[in-house]
Chain A
Amino acid sequence: MDPLSQHHLSLTRRRFFSRAASGLGAGLGALSLASILGGERARGASSELPVGPHFAPKAKRVIYMHMEGGPSHLDLYDYKPELRRRFNQDLPDSIRKGQRLTTMTSGQARFPIAPSVFRFSRCENHTGGVWLSELLPHTQQIANELCFLHSMETEAINHEPGITFFQTGAQVAGRPSFGSWLSYGLGSANANLPTFAVMISQGQGNMQALAARFWGSGFLPSEHQGCKLRSSGDPVLYLKDPPGVARLDRRRMLDLVGALDEIERRESLDDEIDARIAQAEMAYRMQMSVPELADFSDEDEATLEMYGPDVRKPGSFAANCLLARRLAERGVRFIQLYMRGWDQHGGLPAEIKLQTQAVDQGQAALIKDLRRRGLLDETLVLWGGEFGRTVYSQGTLTETNYGRDHHPRAFTVWAAGGGIRGGISYGKTDDYGYNIVENPLSVHDLHATLLHVLGFDHERLSYRHQGRDYRLTDTSGRVVRELLA
């Protein structure tokens, strides 16, 4: 069958009526405004209008720092001093409870307890203080801004499904990324930049692959997918005009292609053509806006110094933190930073030192910088890996060296900024940092709570696909009120 007839057939009766219905309802409130806004769409604007927040949001955008590999909560955030007196003891069965392990350690004869070699300090916050590791001296300074969630749990025990779960709310690939949901729900606040930007920093140790589908739009319209900004050379590839092509030539070419696309769209009724036109137009505008975005020359010395010396190395985590702030102040909705290399199965103390040196100053500077510019109030910041790490040592344990395997049953992430109650610690793990003993928080709960501060009822932000409504939180999730400012 030729693609055109196939596409006509795919316009089912149900789809026709569901579209017609949203047009008919256009007499009321939001719908009327939405339809007016859509009445004369700027050329190249998104093919579907954003859903719009269900209620007035506390946060307008997100900066999500994902620590790929699974940072050790026990060496950074979850202080367990008693473990120092259990050095090299076997993990008690009453704690381990026969739970699933990865094949990397399930064959080990022993599960010897490896206390953290790092010293912790108590930083004051609103809930009696939070103990943070010496590895994070700059993050210690902003402890009173952060909301520590010590009782995160996930269902995945390996990287791929773990990251996929945090990014899309499901372990199996194919659902839209969090950023895509936000792009779909809120739309762009800056038509000259991507709504959902992705930046990757290379780490020091074991690095797992980062698949582009982590920031894919799944079944949402493709304009909602994340746009990866490259760390060296041009941030966005093929953005520059080729030699000999002037900007006016580019404009004329786009106008002509746009006209042809428009004819094709009328013939085929294919929505993907809208996305294509939108992307070509955005690329044209990004030719102007991206170089200005990535140029740090207008930053003052004190600011650069606050982010640390790495800020001058493009692609470093510090540089990406500064770039994240610049994207945030230009209205980008979802800024996804990845820091690779937290998968410390062996030689953890040495490796985690390098990893934390790479992230600590930049992430603390980002929070301070957002705050003083009046941006933190409306920007939601999230920091965390796809799981934590085991209290027992993987491989040989000595007083100065150990490794840790993946641990999904309890770990720490932190949030800050718009709508989130800063300076608190939520949830508790047992003496071994192995099981949650208070206020367990699932990935769905986290997503539901974050969507809430972004103005969405997570049960109503849905998209119909293959005959059913999909949500970021799937069929689960609970807004955790205690975390709201």
Chain B
Amino acid sequence: MRRAALALLALGACQSADVEPRAASRLPSTYDALIAPLLAERCTGCHGAERAKGGLRLHTPEAIRAGGSTAPAFVSGDAEASELVRRLALPLADEEHMPPGDKPQLDPLERALLSGWIRAGAPFEGRVEALHASQSLERHPNPPAPIAPAPAASLAALRAALVHVQPIAQGSNGLWIDFAAIALKTDDALVRSLLEPLKGQVVELALARSHVGADTLALCAEFEHLERLDLRDTRLDDAGLAKLGAHAKLRELVLARSAITAASIPTLLALPKLERVFVWGCALSVDDLAQLRGRTDLLVDAGDKPDAVLAELEPPPKFTNELPSPDAPPPGDPTASINTTCPITGSPVNAKYTRTFEGRVIGFCCPNCPAEFDKDPAACAAKVISAVEAKPKTP
């Protein structure tokens, strides 16, 4: 249920973002978009509407401000002094650590998110842009769905033609359509006959390796929700691509090994939402690519990404065994015995029982053995020293 709530929140966030993407004031607050979903996922099972362990509820701004029975949940502006952050940072085994050790934990990014929000004054309204900057902090929103359901007959026709069609996510009417299975037999007429009734639903369309051209692109221009279009390995040319016009939503365009040339640069630059374009294998010169790359919000992949830089090569390896073992007693400890087994019984040495002979410490296993040693110290010490020196330092 909590997950469902999360999904709804994320969905709400997205829809409002869709209404006026450019107006910051209409974007969801940091609390709504990031903090509340996190608390809902990890905390409110025990600290929420239904339960209030330790008197703490975290499901509404009012409840969070009220804090728990022993301390307030946070100190505005001071993450380190905040009980919430302190509890999260305690060792897992600590009784006060939250969430309890057997429950799913917050990962470092999520902890950083909470700290960052408190440091920014724990605002329930407005946005702390820095926290939104890292994409991986954003919850995976379900795609917004102002999309009408597709006509059943059209979907059936696609499937009968062996064209792959699938909702882009559960709960969405947006469609991912892939012509891979019949690509070699796919032309403009077929695409039009199958997709004309689905203009309002296509979000991702793959026509790679097919024979489509200008007419299909003219049709695509009418797909109001189209975000990704794959035209790899087609004979699509500049005139064809131009039919796309200034499509308002298209984010990714795959044109690798198509017939487009420099004449398509204005078309590509005119697509307002375009984020990535793949143009490997097209007739574009280095200058043409530079012109495309002049648009800084556009990632142009032309198959010319340089290899990773080899920053350093280690010298040819030489083998020694000079490093001491981490298990060896620290060198130069004057109180450490030179032997590891008791010269009297052969049992391991106990550091408590030693005698010093000519500056060297000899260890024994029990309180009785030093007495034996005292009967003839020189002979016993010689035995120990010769045994120790006979043993190689490293095997």
Residues of A within 8 A of B (CB): 29-30, 32-34, 36-37, 39-42, 45, 50, 52-57, 60, 81-82, 84-90, 92-95, 110, 112, 115-125, 129, 131, 140-145, 186-193, 285, 289, 292, 329-331, 368, 371-375, 377, 399, 421, 423, 452, 455, 457, 460, 478, 480-482, 484-485
Smallest distance from the beta carbon of A439 to chain B beta carbons, Å? 9
Smallest distance from the beta carbon of A352 to chain B beta carbons, Å? 15
Q: Which of B230-262 contact A (CB under 8 A)?
A: 230, 232-233, 252, 254, 256-257
Residues of chain B lying within 8 A (CB to CB) of residue A193? 181
By beta carbon, the residue of chain B nearest A124 is B309
Most interface-central of A54, A110, A131, A140 (chain B CB within 10 A): A54
List the 8 shortest-distance A-B pairs measured between CB atoms, nearest first.
A372-B303, A374-B278, A331-B180, A374-B254, A141-B307, A87-B319, A372-B280, A122-B312
Q: A119-B316, A329-B208, A374-B278 are in contact. List 6 more A-B contacts (CB 8 A).
A: A39-B156, A55-B169, A123-B309, A192-B181, A480-B107, A481-B107
Inter-chain contact B395/A88, CB cutoff 8 Å: yes
By beta carbon, the residue of chain B nearest A484 is B136
Inter-chain contact B181/A191, CB cutoff 8 Å: yes
Query: Can you list 23 A-B pairs with a CB-CB distance of less than 8 A?
Result: A30-B167, A30-B169, A36-B149, A39-B152, A55-B170, A56-B140, A56-B168, A84-B318, A85-B319, A112-B395, A121-B310, A124-B309, A141-B307, A141-B308, A189-B180, A191-B164, A192-B181, A192-B182, A368-B303, A373-B278, A455-B169, A481-B110, A485-B135
Of the candidates B109, B142, B305, B312, the one whose C-beta lies within 8 Å of that of A481 is: B109
Inter-chain contact B104/A85, CB cutoff 8 Å: no
Q: Which of B29-37, B64-72, B322-330 binds A?
A: B322-330
Residues of chain B lying within 8 A (CB to CB) of residue A144? 308
B301 interface residue per 8 A CB criterion: yes
If A124-B308, A329-B180, A455-B169 touch, whether A85 touches B320 (CB-CB below 8 Å) is yes
Smallest distance from the beta carbon of B273 to chain A beta carbons, Å? 16
Give per-residue flags for B159-196: 1 if the beta carbon is below 8 A from chain A beta carbons, else 0. 11010111111111100101011111000000000000
Of the candidates B7, B181, B308, the one whose C-beta lies within 8 Å of that of A125 is: B308
Inter-chain contact B311/A123, CB cutoff 8 Å: yes
B386 interface residue per 8 A CB criterion: no
CA distance A141 to B305 in the complex (A): 11
Residues of B within 8 A of A (CB): 3, 7, 104, 107-110, 135-136, 140-143, 145, 149-150, 152, 155-156, 159-160, 162, 164-173, 176, 178, 180-184, 206, 208-209, 230, 232-233, 252, 254, 256-257, 276, 278, 280-281, 301-303, 305, 307-323, 325-327, 394-395
Smallest distance from the beta carbon of B39 to chain A beta carbons, Å? 16
By beta carbon, the residue of chain A nearest B137 is A481
Inter-chain contact B319/A142, CB cutoff 8 Å: no
Residues of chain A lying within 8 A (CB to CB) of residue B181? 189-193, 285, 289, 330-331
Inter-chain contact B321/A188, CB cutoff 8 Å: no
By beta carbon, the residue of chain B nearest A459 is B3
If A190-B181, A329-B180, A373-B232 touch, whether A485 touches B136 (CB-CB below 8 Å) is yes
Residues of chain B lying within 8 A (CB to CB) of residue A372? 256, 278, 280-281, 301-303, 305
Inter-chain contact B323/A478, CB cutoff 8 Å: no
Of the candidates B164, B167, B318, the one whose C-beta lies within 8 Å of that of A33 is: B167
Smallest distance from the beta carbon of B237 to chain A beta carbons, Å? 18
Smallest distance from the beta carbon of B63 to chain A beta carbons, Å? 26
Residues of chain A lying within 8 A (CB to CB) of residue B165? 37
Residues of chain B lying within 8 A (CB to CB) of residue A42? 159-160, 162
Inter-chain contact A89/B325, CB cutoff 8 Å: yes
Main SS of chain B's interface residues? Answer: loop
CA distance A421 to B172 in the complex (A): 26
Inter-chain contact A373/B280, CB cutoff 8 Å: yes
Of the candidates A29, A37, A87, the one whose C-beta lies within 8 Å of that of B155 is: A37
Residues of chain B lying within 8 A (CB to CB) of residue A399? 319
Inter-chain contact A90/B149, CB cutoff 8 Å: no
By beta carbon, the residue of chain B nearest A398 is B319
Inter-chain contact B278/A117, CB cutoff 8 Å: no
CA distance A60 to B169 in the complex (A): 12
If A37-B155, A124-B309 touch, whether A52 touches B164 (CB-CB below 8 Å) is no
If A39-B156, A119-B314, A485-B135 touch, whether A86 touches B309 (CB-CB below 8 Å) is no
Of the candidates B140, B171, B301, the one whose C-beta lies within 8 Å of that of A374 is: B301
By beta carbon, the residue of chain B nearest A84 is B317
Of the candidates A140, A331, A373, A377, the one whose C-beta lies within 8 Å of that of B276 is: A377
By beta carbon, the residue of chain A nearest B105 is A478
If A115-B319, A482-B107 touch, whether A53 touches B170 (CB-CB below 8 Å) is yes
Inter-chain contact B310/A140, CB cutoff 8 Å: yes
Of the candidates A86, A112, A421, the one whose C-beta lies within 8 Å of that of B323 is: A86
Inter-chain contact A54/B308, CB cutoff 8 Å: no
CA distance A81 to B323 in the complex (A): 12
CA distance A297 to B247 in the complex (A): 37
Residues of chain A lying within 8 A (CB to CB) of residue B322? 85
Residues of chain B lying within 8 A (CB to CB) of residue A457? 3
Residues of chain A lying within 8 A (CB to CB) of residue B321? 85-89
Most interface-central of B181, B257, B280 (chain A CB within 10 A): B181
CA distance A428 to B162 in the complex (A): 47
By beta carbon, the residue of chain B nearest A28 is B171
Residues of chain B lying within 8 A (CB to CB) of residue A52? 166-167, 169-170
CA distance A85 to B326 in the complex (A): 13
CA distance A122 to B156 in the complex (A): 54
CA distance A40 to B278 in the complex (A): 36
CA distance A34 to B173 in the complex (A): 10
Inter-chain contact B314/A33, CB cutoff 8 Å: no
Residues of chain B lying within 8 A (CB to CB) of residue A292? 184
Smallest distance from the beta carbon of A475 to chain B beta carbons, Å? 12
CA distance A124 to B310 in the complex (A): 6
CA distance A187 to B166 in the complex (A): 9
Residues of chain A lying within 8 A (CB to CB) of residue B178? 189-190, 331
Residues of chain B lying within 8 A (CB to CB) of residue A329? 180, 208-209, 232-233
Most interface-central of B7, B145, B257, B326 (chain A CB within 10 A): B326
Residues of chain B lying within 8 A (CB to CB) of residue A85? 319-323
Of the candidates A36, A55, A478, the one whose C-beta lies within 8 Å of that of B104 is: A478
CA distance A363 to B156 in the complex (A): 39
Residues of chain A lying within 8 A (CB to CB) of residue B302? 372
CA distance A60 to B208 in the complex (A): 15
By beta carbon, the residue of chain B nearest A439 is B108
CA distance A124 to B312 in the complex (A): 9
Inter-chain contact B395/A482, CB cutoff 8 Å: no
If A42-B162, A191-B162 touch, whether A371 touches B107 (CB-CB below 8 Å) is no
If A119-B316, A129-B311 touch, whether A373 touches B152 (CB-CB below 8 Å) is no
CA distance A115 to B322 in the complex (A): 13
Residues of chain A lying within 8 A (CB to CB) of residue B155? 33, 36-37
CA distance A86 to B322 in the complex (A): 7
Residues of chain B lying within 8 A (CB to CB) of residue A115? 317, 319
Residues of chain B lying within 8 A (CB to CB) of residue A87? 319-321
Most interface-central of A29, A93, A485 (chain B CB within 10 A): A29
